[in-house]
């Protein structure tokens, strides 16, 4: 590592990658533009320069094959890395990666997308130049050959913010196509087999369920490993993440359309997959054994699990937030089924989805606003409270749930999600050695138990506005 390219040292250390300040014998040299000459003289077979376009031309003159990556957005942590040689993929990435409430920014992005699609570089100074003496496909895409990824395909990379144990993904574009055909997810660290095994189990649950649920999900193709790095392959969902769609400059009524579609789908899935009340018994036992003891100091009722004895189990996605829905015109696709359960609490997905997406519809964009909106939404004080309550009444009616069980079912779902979020945080801290702040799932559970008007006795959903 030469110089101080922003964030590289801490990020490489978090991923347990050995760093040397002397480039002799290094597999990869990473440098800022001030140390470009030293990087070129190092003799390393691979060089990455975080800097200007001039760096890529200097690397080419040095005999390297150079890939120019455009980070999107160009300021701050990237959400995508776009290979400018893959014109169609780069255009797709700019068109779908970002949305801004300001119309002029949206117009600017459309212009930039057309420029890269025509092979012209957008007017930005910073590029990531990846240079090698042995050009070819990214190694992680080569691993995926047996799972249907063709050689020489165009691609764009999705970058997950947050902990290093989260996965990135390649969007893989069939030759000559402007939309992705496959997604290759990959671990950013060695040894993340648990994540990929869980995803495989979730895919099996979904395949066995079929019907309305699987019609809105990608097709899982399998997983593979090389040198401790895992990948998985599934069909791609074309379109825009719901999180971006909801931030776009569009009328509220238009932004509400896909939310109503997903809520309607959740009700139909619950109706289609609901079994007998006894099917939920293993889940109730797990909640009583593994989840409720973590929250008993906050005053939860001793008979909380018993309050859902007459509630049937139904398919549960268990992570249905705005980042896991892709919208495309009138259609949508639900991603990331790794936490899926064949017999889960039927209200869990609907409330979790509503909490995450309706705050964006209402303009609660900051983290403090997010927490305030959570409380207001569920107490019936937010602009979108009537929307969420109507969804809940629809599901309660469809499954003929006892109204008195709703508060307990929502409580169990939120505490379960809070416990899962806490375990994920602790596992990530153990893997990387870096402390992490509590995610919204943890904070949400605590708010639910502490805010007046919420908790196991919650009945605000019955109000009709």
Distance CA 376, CA 373 (A): 5
Q: In the prediction, which pLDDT does 292 show?
A: 95
What residues are paired with 47 via a beta bridge?
29, 131
Residue 199 burial class via C-beta count within 10 angstroms: exposed 0-12, middle 13-18, buried 19 and up: buried
* SS3 of the chain: helix, strand, coil, percent, to 5: 50, 15, 35
Is pTM beyond 0.75? Reply is yes
What percentage of the chain has pLDDT greater than the value 70?
Answer: 96
Distances (CA, A) of 215 to 5, 46, 73, 410, 424: 45, 43, 32, 26, 29
- β 80-83/65-72 pair status: antiparallel
Peptide bond into 73 cis (omega under 30): yes
Task: Identify the band that residue 13 occupies on the pLDDT scale cut at 50, 70 and 90.
Answer: confident
Residue ranges per structural domain of the chain:
1-74+95-136, 137-238, 240-462
Q: In the prediction, which pLDDT does 125 show?
A: 60
Distance CA 329, CA 341 (A): 29
Q: In the prediction, which pLDDT does 22 show?
A: 83
Q: In the prediction, which pLDDT does 100 show?
A: 62
Kindly tell me if the per-residue pLDDT of 418 is higher than 90.
Answer: yes
**Domains 137-238 and 240-462 are alike in CATH topology:** no
Render pLDDT for 81-100 as a digit per residue (tens, 0 to 9): 999 899 999 899 888 876 66
Q: Is the dihedral of CA 148, 152, 156, 159 positive or negative?
A: positive
Q: In the prediction, which pLDDT does 258 show?
A: 97
What CATH superfamily classification does 137-238 receive? Phosphorylase Kinase; domain 1 (3.30.200.20)
**Residue 423 is encoded by which pair of tokens?**
């375990």
Average pLDDT over every residue of 44-64: 89
Other Cβ atoms within 10 Å of 417 Cβ, number? 23
Average pLDDT over every residue of 379-395: 97
Q: Indicate the SS3 state at residue 234.
A: strand
Class (C level, CATH) for 240-462: alpha beta
Residue 334 burial class via C-beta count within 10 angstroms: exposed 0-12, middle 13-18, buried 19 and up: buried
């Amino acid at each position: 590592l030469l110089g101080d390219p922003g964030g590289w040292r801490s990020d490489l250390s978090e991923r347990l990658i050995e760093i040397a300040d002397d480039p002799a014998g290094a597999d990869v040299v990473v440098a800022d533009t001030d140390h470009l000459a030293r990087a070129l003289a190092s003799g390393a077979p691979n060089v990455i320069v975080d800097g200007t376009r001039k760096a890529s031309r200097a690397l080419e003159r040095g005999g390297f094959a150079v890939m120019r990556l455009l980070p999107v957005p160009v300021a701050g942590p990237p959400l995508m890395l776009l290979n400018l040689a893959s014109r169609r993929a780069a255009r797709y990435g700019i068109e779908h990666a970002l949305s801004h409430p300001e119309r002029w920014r949206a117009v600017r992005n459309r212009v930039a997308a057309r420029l890269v699609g025509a092979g012209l570089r957008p007017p930005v100074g910073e590029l990531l130049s990846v240079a090698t003496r042995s050009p070819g496909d990214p190694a992680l895409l080569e691993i995926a050959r047996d799972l249907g990824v063709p050689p020489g395909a165009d691609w764009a990379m999705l970058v997950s913010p947050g902990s290093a144990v989260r996965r990135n993904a390649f969007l893989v574009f069939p030759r000559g196509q402007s939309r992705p055909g496959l997604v290759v997810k990959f671990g950013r660290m060695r040894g993340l087999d648990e994540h990929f095994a869980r995803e495989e189990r979730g895919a099996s649950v979904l395949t066995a369920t079929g019907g309305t649920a699987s019609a809105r999900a990608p097709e899982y193709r399998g997983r593979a490993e090389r040198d401790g790095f895992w990948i998985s392959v599934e069909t791609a969902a074309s379109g825009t993440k719901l999180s971006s769609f909801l931030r776009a400059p569009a009328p509220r009524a238009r932004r509400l359309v896909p939310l109503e579609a997903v809520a309607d789908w959740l009700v139909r899935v619950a109706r289609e997959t609901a079994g007998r009340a006894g099917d939920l018994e293993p889940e109730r036992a797990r909640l009583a054994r593994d989840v409720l003891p973590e929250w008993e100091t906050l005053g939860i009722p001793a008979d909380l699990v018993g309050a859902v004895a007459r509630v049937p189990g139904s398919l549960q996605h268990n992570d249905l937030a705005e980042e896991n829905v892709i919208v495309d015109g009138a259609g949508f696709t639900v991603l990331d089924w790794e936490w899926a359960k064949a017999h889960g609490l039927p209200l869990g997905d609907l409330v979790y989805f509503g909490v995450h997406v309706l705050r964006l519809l209402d303009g609660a964009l900051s983290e403090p606003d997010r927490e305030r909106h959570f409380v207001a939404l569920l107490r019936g004080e937010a602009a979108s409270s009537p929307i969420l309550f109507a969804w809940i009444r629809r599901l309660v009616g469809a499954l003929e749930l006892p109204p008195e069980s709703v508060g307990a079912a929502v409580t169990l779902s939120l505490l379960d999600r809070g416990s899962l979020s806490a375990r994920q945080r602790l596992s990530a801290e153990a893997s990387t050695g870096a402390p992490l702040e509590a995610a919204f799932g943890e904070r949400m559970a605590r708010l639910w138990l502490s805010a007046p008007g919420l908790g196991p006795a919650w009945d605000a959903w019955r109000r009709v506005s």
